[in-house]
Amino acid sequence: MLTVHHLNNSRSQRVLWLLEELGVPYEIVRYQRQPDMRAPQELRAIHPLGKSPVITDNGNTIAESGAIIEYLIATYGNGRLIPPPNTPERLRYTYWLHYAEGSAMQPLLLKLLFTLMPKRAPALLRPLVRKVSNQALTALVNPQLKQHMDYWEAELGKSEWFAGNEFTAADIQMSFPLEAAQARGGLEQGHPRAMAFLDRIHARPAYARALEKGGPYQVGR
Protein backbone atom coordinates (compact mmCIF):
# COMPACT_ATOMS: atom_id res chain seq x y z
CA MET A 1 0.00 0.00 0.00
CA LEU A 2 1.08 3.57 -0.64
CA THR A 3 2.78 5.01 2.46
CA VAL A 4 3.10 8.68 3.38
CA HIS A 5 6.01 9.42 5.69
CA HIS A 6 4.32 12.29 7.46
CA LEU A 7 6.08 14.94 9.52
CA ASN A 8 3.82 17.03 11.70
CA ASN A 9 3.31 20.67 10.64
CA SER A 10 4.93 20.14 7.28
CA ARG A 11 4.36 20.11 3.56
CA SER A 12 3.37 16.45 3.75
CA GLN A 13 -0.08 17.65 4.85
CA ARG A 14 -0.66 18.57 1.21
CA VAL A 15 0.06 14.99 0.16
CA LEU A 16 -2.57 13.66 2.57
CA TRP A 17 -5.04 16.21 1.21
CA LEU A 18 -4.38 15.20 -2.41
CA LEU A 19 -4.82 11.52 -1.57
CA GLU A 20 -8.12 12.32 0.15
CA GLU A 21 -9.28 14.26 -2.90
CA LEU A 22 -8.41 11.30 -5.12
CA GLY A 23 -9.82 8.68 -2.75
CA VAL A 24 -6.59 6.65 -2.85
CA PRO A 25 -6.01 4.25 0.08
CA TYR A 26 -2.81 4.94 2.00
CA GLU A 27 -1.14 4.46 5.33
CA ILE A 28 0.72 7.01 7.43
CA VAL A 29 4.04 6.61 9.19
CA ARG A 30 4.32 9.52 11.61
CA TYR A 31 7.38 11.53 12.57
CA GLN A 32 7.54 14.34 15.12
CA ARG A 33 9.67 17.43 14.79
CA GLN A 34 12.54 17.80 17.25
CA PRO A 35 12.61 20.75 19.70
CA ASP A 36 14.64 22.72 17.14
CA MET A 37 11.83 22.05 14.60
CA ARG A 38 14.01 19.85 12.39
CA ALA A 39 12.87 16.45 11.18
CA PRO A 40 14.09 13.45 13.16
CA GLN A 41 17.00 11.31 11.98
CA GLU A 42 14.65 8.37 11.31
CA LEU A 43 13.52 10.02 8.08
CA ARG A 44 17.02 9.52 6.64
CA ALA A 45 16.34 5.80 6.59
CA ILE A 46 13.61 6.56 4.04
CA HIS A 47 15.39 9.26 2.02
CA PRO A 48 19.02 10.43 2.36
CA LEU A 49 18.06 14.06 2.92
CA GLY A 50 15.75 13.18 5.80
CA LYS A 51 13.05 15.60 4.64
CA SER A 52 9.28 15.43 4.40
CA PRO A 53 7.18 14.81 2.40
CA VAL A 54 8.29 11.39 1.21
CA ILE A 55 6.09 8.61 -0.10
CA THR A 56 6.83 4.99 -0.88
CA ASP A 57 4.71 3.13 -3.42
CA ASN A 58 5.26 0.01 -5.52
CA GLY A 59 8.97 -0.02 -4.76
CA ASN A 60 9.40 3.69 -5.49
CA THR A 61 10.59 6.28 -2.99
CA ILE A 62 9.56 9.77 -4.04
CA ALA A 63 10.45 13.06 -2.36
CA GLU A 64 9.68 16.72 -3.13
CA SER A 65 6.10 17.96 -3.09
CA GLY A 66 5.89 18.74 -6.81
CA ALA A 67 7.33 15.38 -7.84
CA ILE A 68 4.97 13.57 -5.47
CA ILE A 69 1.95 15.41 -6.84
CA GLU A 70 2.97 14.68 -10.43
CA TYR A 71 3.43 10.98 -9.59
CA LEU A 72 0.10 10.67 -7.76
CA ILE A 73 -1.86 12.48 -10.48
CA ALA A 74 -0.23 10.38 -13.22
CA THR A 75 -0.64 7.09 -11.34
CA TYR A 76 -4.00 7.49 -9.61
CA GLY A 77 -5.64 10.62 -11.00
CA ASN A 78 -7.33 9.18 -14.10
CA GLY A 79 -7.56 12.69 -15.49
CA ARG A 80 -8.78 14.27 -12.28
CA LEU A 81 -7.38 17.46 -10.71
CA ILE A 82 -5.35 18.31 -13.81
CA PRO A 83 -6.45 20.30 -16.87
CA PRO A 84 -6.50 18.63 -20.29
CA PRO A 85 -3.21 18.60 -22.24
CA ASN A 86 -2.39 21.36 -24.68
CA THR A 87 -4.68 23.91 -23.05
CA PRO A 88 -3.85 27.29 -21.47
CA GLU A 89 -5.10 25.88 -18.18
CA ARG A 90 -2.59 23.02 -18.37
CA LEU A 91 0.23 25.48 -18.89
CA ARG A 92 -0.91 27.52 -15.89
CA TYR A 93 -1.23 24.32 -13.87
CA THR A 94 2.36 23.33 -14.59
CA TYR A 95 3.59 26.81 -13.79
CA TRP A 96 1.88 27.06 -10.38
CA LEU A 97 2.83 23.51 -9.48
CA HIS A 98 6.51 24.45 -9.71
CA TYR A 99 6.28 28.12 -8.75
CA ALA A 100 4.96 27.22 -5.29
CA GLU A 101 8.29 25.81 -4.11
CA GLY A 102 10.61 27.31 -6.71
CA SER A 103 9.73 30.98 -6.11
CA ALA A 104 6.95 31.54 -3.58
CA MET A 105 8.56 29.85 -0.59
CA GLN A 106 11.89 31.68 -0.78
CA PRO A 107 10.81 35.00 0.78
CA LEU A 108 8.62 33.15 3.27
CA LEU A 109 11.56 31.06 4.46
CA LEU A 110 13.74 34.16 4.70
CA LYS A 111 10.98 35.87 6.70
CA LEU A 112 10.95 32.97 9.13
CA LEU A 113 14.74 32.85 9.35
CA PHE A 114 15.25 36.56 10.05
CA THR A 115 12.36 36.57 12.53
CA LEU A 116 13.81 33.67 14.51
CA MET A 117 17.46 34.75 14.46
CA PRO A 118 17.23 37.42 17.19
CA LYS A 119 15.27 35.07 19.45
CA ARG A 120 17.91 32.36 19.19
CA ALA A 121 21.01 34.54 19.31
CA PRO A 122 23.15 34.70 22.49
CA ALA A 123 21.97 37.46 24.81
CA LEU A 124 25.04 39.65 24.26
CA LEU A 125 24.67 39.50 20.49
CA ARG A 126 20.89 39.79 20.39
CA PRO A 127 20.69 43.58 19.83
CA LEU A 128 23.11 43.40 16.90
CA VAL A 129 21.40 40.36 15.38
CA ARG A 130 18.01 42.02 15.77
CA LYS A 131 19.27 45.15 14.00
CA VAL A 132 20.71 43.18 11.09
CA SER A 133 17.58 41.03 10.83
CA ASN A 134 15.26 44.02 10.86
CA GLN A 135 17.30 45.70 8.12
CA ALA A 136 17.17 42.55 5.98
CA LEU A 137 13.42 42.23 6.51
CA THR A 138 12.74 45.88 5.70
CA ALA A 139 15.04 46.24 2.71
CA LEU A 140 14.85 42.82 1.10
CA VAL A 141 12.42 40.23 2.40
CA ASN A 142 9.20 42.15 3.08
CA PRO A 143 9.18 43.95 -0.31
CA GLN A 144 9.72 40.64 -2.13
CA LEU A 145 7.00 38.94 -0.13
CA LYS A 146 4.55 41.75 -0.82
CA GLN A 147 5.32 41.49 -4.53
CA HIS A 148 4.45 37.79 -4.48
CA MET A 149 1.27 38.32 -2.46
CA ASP A 150 0.14 41.07 -4.83
CA TYR A 151 0.85 38.70 -7.72
CA TRP A 152 -1.37 35.99 -6.22
CA GLU A 153 -4.12 38.52 -5.66
CA ALA A 154 -4.00 39.67 -9.28
CA GLU A 155 -3.95 36.13 -10.67
CA LEU A 156 -6.90 35.06 -8.54
CA GLY A 157 -8.77 37.97 -10.08
CA LYS A 158 -8.54 36.20 -13.44
CA SER A 159 -10.12 32.92 -12.29
CA GLU A 160 -11.44 31.29 -9.14
CA TRP A 161 -8.51 28.86 -8.94
CA PHE A 162 -4.86 29.26 -9.88
CA ALA A 163 -4.99 27.20 -13.08
CA GLY A 164 -8.45 28.30 -14.18
CA ASN A 165 -12.06 27.89 -13.14
CA GLU A 166 -11.62 24.30 -11.94
CA PHE A 167 -9.92 23.19 -8.73
CA THR A 168 -6.69 21.28 -9.47
CA ALA A 169 -3.67 19.82 -7.72
CA ALA A 170 -1.89 23.13 -8.39
CA ASP A 171 -4.20 24.70 -5.82
CA ILE A 172 -3.18 22.04 -3.33
CA GLN A 173 0.46 22.87 -4.02
CA MET A 174 -0.17 26.60 -3.67
CA SER A 175 -2.01 26.19 -0.37
CA PHE A 176 1.20 26.03 1.67
CA PRO A 177 2.68 29.39 0.52
CA LEU A 178 -0.66 31.15 1.06
CA GLU A 179 -1.15 29.60 4.49
CA ALA A 180 2.40 30.57 5.43
CA ALA A 181 1.81 34.11 4.16
CA GLN A 182 -1.34 34.34 6.24
CA ALA A 183 0.55 33.12 9.31
CA ARG A 184 3.61 35.35 9.06
CA GLY A 185 3.42 37.59 6.00
CA GLY A 186 0.36 39.78 6.47
CA LEU A 187 -1.67 38.23 3.65
CA GLU A 188 -4.89 39.40 5.25
CA GLN A 189 -3.90 43.03 4.63
CA GLY A 190 -5.16 44.00 1.21
CA HIS A 191 -5.49 40.55 -0.38
CA PRO A 192 -9.19 39.58 -0.18
CA ARG A 193 -9.09 37.18 -3.13
CA ALA A 194 -6.17 35.26 -1.63
CA MET A 195 -7.95 35.08 1.71
CA ALA A 196 -11.11 33.87 -0.05
CA PHE A 197 -9.01 31.18 -1.73
CA LEU A 198 -7.93 29.96 1.71
CA ASP A 199 -11.54 29.95 2.89
CA ARG A 200 -12.52 27.83 -0.11
CA ILE A 201 -9.81 25.23 0.35
CA HIS A 202 -10.36 24.99 4.10
CA ALA A 203 -14.05 24.28 3.45
CA ARG A 204 -13.31 21.27 1.25
CA PRO A 205 -14.27 17.95 2.90
CA ALA A 206 -11.05 16.28 1.72
CA TYR A 207 -9.00 19.02 3.40
CA ALA A 208 -10.84 18.37 6.67
CA ARG A 209 -10.32 14.60 6.38
CA ALA A 210 -6.60 15.12 5.77
CA LEU A 211 -6.38 17.24 8.92
CA GLU A 212 -8.13 14.54 10.93
CA LYS A 213 -5.61 11.96 9.76
CA GLY A 214 -2.51 14.16 9.76
CA GLY A 215 -3.03 15.84 13.10
CA PRO A 216 -2.83 19.49 14.21
CA TYR A 217 -1.47 21.76 11.51
CA GLN A 218 -0.21 25.29 11.97
CA VAL A 219 2.12 26.84 9.43
CA GLY A 220 4.67 29.32 10.68
CA ARG A 221 3.01 30.06 14.01
Instruction: Check if CATH label 3.40.30.10 holds for domain 3-82+208-214.
Output: yes
Cα separation, 66 vs 100, whole angstroms: 9
To the nearest whole percent, how much of the chain has pLDDT over 70?
Answer: 97
Cα-based angle 36, 41, 44 (whole degrees, multiple of 5): 130
- pLDDT of 221 reads 38
What are the tens digits of pLDDT across the range 166-220?
A: 999 999 999 999 999 999 999 999 999 999 999 999 999 999 999 999 887 776 4
What are the tens digits of pLDDT across the range 130-148?
A: 999 999 999 999 999 999 9
Pick the CATH number of 88-204 from 3.40.50.10320, 3.10.129.10, 1.20.1290.10, 1.20.1050.10: 1.20.1050.10
Between 11 and 37, the more confident residue is 11
Q: What is the mean pLDDT of residues 108-114?
A: 93
Q: What residue segments make up the domains of the chain, in order of their start?
A: 3-82+208-214, 88-204
Tell me if the pTM is above 0.75.
yes
